[in-house]
A and B are shown apart, each in its own frame.
Chain A
Amino acid sequence: MIARIALLLARPGSAGAAASVLPVTAFGIVTALLLMVLGGAQTFWTWQDDGGVLYQALAVIALALLVVPLVSLGGAAARLSARRRDDRLATLRLLGATPATVSALAVLESVVLALVGAVLGVAVYLAGVPLLGLIHFRGEPLGASGVLLPWWALVAVPFAIGSLAAVSAVLGLRQVVISPLGVRTRQEAPRMHWLRLVVGLGVVALAFGLMAVLQVAPSVLVILGMLALAFGGSIAVLNLMGPWVIRLVAKGQARRAKTPARLLAARSVLESPKAAWRQVGGVAMTSFMAVFAGTGVAVLEVLGTAPDAESDLLLADIRTGILITVVGSFLMVACSVGVNQAAGILDRGDLYRSLGMLGMPTGTMDAARRRAVMSPLRITAIGSAVTAAIVMLPLTGVSLIVAPASLLVIAAVLAAGIGIVWLGLVATRPVLDRAAAAG
């Protein structure tokens, strides 16, 4: 029954093509990125030597870093599905359909969009295989045949993306109420305790202490353990403190705002700092990792501690891996932001239309929503990078003096990442124009 209703609902709605194109594009990019990372990792798995294991471990870390923004994207796509079918799902509820049925419809639609996107992503990956093969690891190009995944992987990944979309859709729909009178987003109470800051600062201090006594560690295993503790602890702290810091900054911005766009943006972040964090939180880990690992690699390279050519190559490869992961993560966050924004605009369609009638220029509405994303993003990216720099303080200082170029590259990549997210916002402007059209 659900499939038959879903087919009926698949007819074009009033939200415009962008509401379907965005999630499909987003899932397409995510699939292509995942396949590319998997393709590269596949090459690493053919290396049987001791160094190969390290590469495999790094590939797993890169994949883990990409999964977080992927899950967030899945949830955003599901919420968008629910909102773009707003009136129809509400009508079904009015006709007596149970919440479970309409939720299943939204999840099904989200999965279908994910699958369409995933298939397109496979096509993009296949088209990109020759270019991917040109990336150098261990001083040699990976080679097109090396990065080409077997057919079953090309089937399994879209299936996995579809399943992930279903799971995150179910989770995402917990924030949406589909009632007979319409679809609306649940409001979260923006309550956050200052204790978060105390715990956060304590853990950062502990991580800093661990890094300071790293050289007196008795064995490599202990060093690795301390590194993992410092890295993992700091990441956990970022998640704990992120929403709190975003709220604190937005509160100050709301107080000082002099223009309508600034006031609207700050208030919209204050409405749910957790939601603002979820949207860009993926960047926190990536940005932290980029500075944490990038600083270490830069110092090791310049100080010439690499004992042989193979280690030199390893350091260069880690840097390549960092850049690829950072770019991938930002691309996913950009997709997530795009989809979230489209969902948000459709959710507030009546309000935007009324603001248009009042004479508020669409440019002001656009500036407000852009600022509401970019401000937390900047806080997240820069805050995480600074946290990593503090944890690695002695090394950050050294690399700033002896290898400023490496830090500049990291900074440039972070800046480019922020630019990609901005493009994601620009892509949703037509949805806003359509929603705000007064006449």
Chain B
Amino acid sequence: MSSYVIEAAGLSRSFGSTRALAGVDLSVRTGESLAIMGASGSGKTTLLHCLAGITRPDAGTVGFRSGTGRVEVTGLGERERSRLRREAFGFVFQQGLLIPELTAVENVALALMLNGMPRARAEEYGRGWLDALGLAGMEDRRIGQLSGGQAQRVAIARAQVTGAAVVFADEPTGALDSATSADVMQALLDSTTSQGRTLVLVTHDAEVAARCSRIVDMRDGRIVGERVPA
């Protein structure tokens, strides 16, 4: 059985006349942390979106392997891809993008409620994750009452609470100072790879990338290098 959780082959994607991906092959191993680096416009976010089933590539395939077998992500319709993202993947964005009118615990619980879990149980799980990420006592605060780093931890809890096999993070520390950035990155790694889950993140920050187990570099829509941080 393959140890790859995600296998992408020949991915191409264009936006108008701009070619964002030009034939990318990439496999992500179960339990690894993979950093995708590159300059702005190199295609790294588009690659992340294709791997996560957010965007459908113009050509190429993405496969996702879970305990129940292999799913051809690129062959799924919009509804099935939404379901896959909801149930099997977690996401952390640069700005957190949490729902401002909900409390911290409600933001986390929402991910479970979308999968049909009763609210009381979902909030119980949510509180557990927030506690584990150092936010005990802040569960009932609204997002505006949290600092940037705290909000990002809520986003990590939201990404993890469903037991996501893979967490995709797009510049998760991009809006944070270096000390908070290190804390958030540690929390992200603790809640993913330390527990056998997989982390795929896009970053500009070499220090953040250096904490991952593998780095791929992109330029002009292609992978131009791959390395293991020292």
Contact = CB atoms under 8 A, between A and B. Distances in A.
B141 interface: no
A267 B106 contact: yes
A196 B90 CA distance: 45
A271 B158 CA distance: 21
Interface in A179-197: 187
Given A263-B102, A364-B114, A358 B55 contact: no
A364 B99 CA distance: 14
A273 B198 CA distance: 42
Interface string A246-278: 000000000001111001100110110000000
B99 A264 contact: yes
Interface stretch (B64-72, B79-87, B199-207, B208-216): B79-87
A246 to B, nearest CB: 15
Nearest to A352: B97
A260 B95 contact: no
A360 interface: yes
Given A358-B85, A358-B86, A270 B97 contact: no
Given A260-B113, A439-B54, A439-B56, A354 B93 contact: yes
B50 to A, nearest CB: 9
Contacts of B95: 350
Interface centre among B86, B101, B110 (most CB of A within 10 A): B101
Given A358-B91, A359-B85, A439-B54, A260 B49 contact: no
Interface in B37-63: 49, 52, 54-56
A209 interface: no
Contact of B113 (A187, A259, A268, A359): A259
Nearest to A364: B114
A358 B111 contact: yes
A364 B82 CA distance: 12
Interface residues of A, number: 24
Contacts of B83: 359
A357 B113 contact: no
B119 interface: yes
A361 interface: yes
B110 A263 contact: yes
B77 interface: no
A357 B52 contact: yes
Contacts, number: 69
Given A258-B118, A359-B83, A271 B101 contact: yes
Given A187-B144, A258-B119, A263-B119, A359 B102 contact: no
B118 A267 contact: no
| Chain A at the B interface: SS class | helix
A94 interface: no
B86 A354 contact: no
Contacts of B113: 259-260, 263
Nearest to A439: B55
Interface in B87-146: 87, 89, 91, 93, 95, 97, 99-102, 106, 110-111, 113-114, 118-119, 144
A233 B49 CA distance: 58
Contacts of B86: 358-360
A190 B102 CA distance: 14
A270 B101 contact: yes
Interface centre among B52, B79, B100, B114 (most CB of A within 10 A): B114
Contacts of A259: 113
Nearest to B116: A259
Contacts of B114: 260, 358-360, 364
B43 to A, nearest CB: 15
B99 A439 contact: no
A263 B100 CA distance: 13
A268 B91 contact: no
Given A258-B118, A260-B110, A351 B99 contact: yes
Ranked nearest first, the 10 interchain pairs of A and B with the lowest CB-CB distance are: A359-B86, A359-B85, A354-B97, A439-B55, A267-B101, A271-B101, A359-B82, A438-B54, A260-B113, A357-B54
18 contacts: A258-B118, A258-B119, A263-B119, A264-B102, A267-B102, A350-B95, A357-B54, A357-B93, A358-B158, A359-B84, A359-B86, A359-B87, A360-B82, A361-B79, A361-B82, A438-B82, A439-B54, A439-B55
